[in-house]
Amino acid sequence: MRSFVLQKFLRRWNPYVGCYARLYSRIVLGIETSCDETGAAIVDEHGNVLGEGLHSQLDVHLQNGGVIPHIASYLHKENIHNVVTTALRQSKFALTDVSAISVTTRPGLASSLVVGLEYAKGLVKESGKPLIPIHHMEAHGLTVRMVEDIAFPFLVLLASGGHCQIAWVQNVEEFLLLGTSLHNSPGEVIDKIARRLKLQNLPECYDMSGGRAIEHVAKGGNHLAFNFPCTMIMHRDCNFSFSGFGSYAAAIIENQERCYDVPPDGVIPSARDFCASLQYGIALHLLHRVSRAIAFCEAKKWVPSDNKILVFSGGVACNSFIRAILKSFCSTVGFRLTCPPPKLCTDNGIMIAWNGMEKLKEDVGIVLDPETVFTDSNCPLGKDMTNEVKKAAIKVRYKKIEADIETDVEALREGCKA
């Protein structure tokens, strides 16, 4: 178990952290280029971030109306050297001081992943350090262990711009996949809806991701104003589908624009209620699938009575309304919800460095010959248990779940607990 007293001490005496780590701790350099963030970081065994470089391509992709792979790849190439150098310089370490280099190799945009991997291979050749290939979603799932003492096993819900998955995490390497998105991801749908709403035209939202803009606009809105249909209600599994949100949203926005004669660059007057309702709809869909996953794990007798944890991570986990709904539900079933801080929920090099450190500590997934490592843009997460979940066909009483959290939801709406 990590010493939190020691960590506190180290954070307070930040200038000396480098010196401490050099003497007593291994350090890992992590590199992330799977989508639209070029990230690098140095972390030590205790979860201290010694240096970080991060270059976001968000502004470019906002102008283009989404991520265009060859532009993302070009921007990674442009920025990777600077980002890695910044992380090393901040840490006051040289490449020769690191114990290993970890890099995202799967899943993600093929042309983006390869930029990070090739750069990491170059560093490995230059330094002779071992390489640790990282699964991007596993890294999202384990980031929380860097900031909190969470023991295995636990349940993890990952919702991002590329994926939505729920998995039982047995250890650093073993993830059992209970449910996954059948179509698109929640982040992708939210971003599309934000674009269709033209939220970028609101001065306070112009540089925000779609998800952040939706959360910002939703503040104080009525989450019951628009009734987003519950999806997959009849499917007794833990899979997700967000495409219905996209088509329902498009129809409502079109209708509202017509009713209120909204100009081409204008935003519908009901945007606040609309965004609040969208967040609520997505939160309920996640909640329904999580409730079955918890019931499945309990039925399997996997859940230790003294460690009932749901970890929520990935970019969409930045959303404090969705977090609050999941937290409320968890408390009704004896679980505790925990999430990394928002800065660590979105893509960054820190989570890749930390996942590398976790593997280094366990002595797993360390590669000595970098030429044997390749990217895999569609790599699934863990062992597929989704059919077993389907076969178990566990019935969940959604209405009761919604009634149980109603008071908390009302309080949230009134801003009492926001």
**279 token code pair:** 């967040």
143 is an interface residue for ligand KG4 by CB under 6 A: no
In the complex, minimum distance from the CB of residue 105 to ligand KG4, in angstroms, rounded to a whole number: 14
DSSP 8-state class, residue 369: -
Indicate the DSSP class of residue 203.
G
Partnered with residue 101 across adjacent β-strands are 29, 131
CA distances to 185, 197, 226, 315 from 193, rounded to whole Å, are 13, 6, 14, 16
Segment 159-178, which members bind Zn ion (CB under 5 A)? 160
Site residues for Zn ion, 331-390, by CB under 5 A, read 347
Least spacing, CB of residue 302 vs ligand KG4, in Å: 26
Say whether residue 138 binds ligand KG4 (CB under 6 A).
Answer: no
The answer to whether 33 touches 76, Cβ cutoff 8 Å, is yes
Query: Where do we find the tokens 């071992």?
Result: 130
Question: Which residue in 97, 215, 257, 408 binds ligand KG4 (CB under 6 A)?
Answer: 215
For 68, 241, 287, the CA distances from 330, given in Å and listed in that order, are 38, 22, 9
Instruction: Report the distance separating Cα 238 and Cα 165, nearest Å.
Output: 9
Other C-beta atoms closer than 10 Å to the C-beta of 247 total 11
- Rounded to an integer, what is the distance from CA 91 to the centroid of its chain? 25
E strand intervals along 21-163: 27-32, 37-44, 49-56, 100-106, 131-135, 154-159
Give yes or no for residue 346 binding ligand KG4 (CB under 6 A): yes
Stretch that binds ligand KG4, among 39-47, 61-69, 205-213, 324-332 (CB under 6 A): 205-213
Decide if residue 412 touches ligand KG4 (CB under 6 A). Answer: no
The partner in contact with residue 209, picked from ligand KG4, Zn ion, none with C-beta cut-offs of 5 to 8 angstroms by kind, is: ligand KG4
Do 329 and 404 meet the contact criterion of CB atoms below 8 Å apart? Answer: yes
**Tokens standing for 306?**
């003294």
Choose between 160 and 338: whose C-beta lies nearer to Zn ion.
Answer: 160
Can you tell me whether residue 368 is helix, strand or coil? coil
Minimum distance of ligand KG4 from residue 246's CB (angstroms): 13
Choose the binding region for Zn ion from 88-96, 153-161, 212-220, 275-283 (rule: CB under 5 A).
153-161
Q: Which of 308, 294, 303 is nearest to 337 (CA)?
A: 308
Q: In the complex with ligand KG4, which residue's Cβ is closer, 129 or 327?
A: 327
Altogether, the residues listed in the chain come to a count of 418
CB 288 within 8 A of CB 131: no
Count of residues in contact with ligand KG4, rule CB under 6 A: 19
For residue 47, the partner it binds in Zn ion, ligand KG4, none, with Cβ less than 5 to 8 A by kind, is none
Contact set for ligand KG4, span 27-86 (CB under 6 A): 35
Nearer to Zn ion by C-beta: 237 or 347? 347
| Of 30, 39, 107, 187, the one binding ligand KG4 by CB under 6 A | 187
Asked if 190 contacts 277 with a C-beta cutoff of 8 angstroms, the reply is no
Binding segment for ligand KG4 among 57-65, 203-211, 304-312, 372-380 (CB under 6 A)? 203-211
CB of 316 to ligand KG4, least distance (A): 4
Among residues 111 and 319, whose Cβ is nearest to ligand KG4? Answer: 319
CB of residue 187 to Zn ion, shortest distance in Å: 9
State the minimum distance, in angstroms, from the CB of residue 231 to Zn ion. Answer: 23
For residue 346, the minimal CB distance to ligand KG4 (Å) is 3
Task: List the one residue from 48, 86, 102, 160 that touches ligand KG4 (CB under 6 A).
Answer: 160
Return the range that interacts with ligand KG4 (CB under 6 A); candidates 70-78, 206-214, 304-312, 372-380. Answer: 206-214
- Residues numbered 299-338 forming contacts with ligand KG4, rule: CB under 6 A: 314-316, 318-319
Helices (H), 300-397: 320-332, 342-345, 349-362, 386-392
C-alpha to C-alpha distances, 24 to 17, 87, 208, 354, nearest whole angstrom? 10, 20, 41, 17
Q: Which is nearer to ligand KG4, 160 or 338 (CB)?
A: 160
Nearer to Zn ion, 52 or 347 (CB): 347
Q: Assess contact for 238 and 293: CB atoms under 8 A.
A: yes
Cβ distance 378 to 109 under 8 Å? no
Report if residue 281 touches ligand KG4, rule: CB under 6 A.
Answer: no
138, 191, 257, 408: residue in contact with ligand KG4 (rule CB under 6 A): 191
Q: Is the peptide bond before 153 cis (omega within 30 degrees of 0)?
A: yes
**Interacting residues toward ligand KG4 by CB under 6 A:** 35, 160-162, 187, 190-191, 209-212, 215, 314-316, 318-319, 346-347
**Interacting residues toward Zn ion by CB under 5 A:** 160, 347
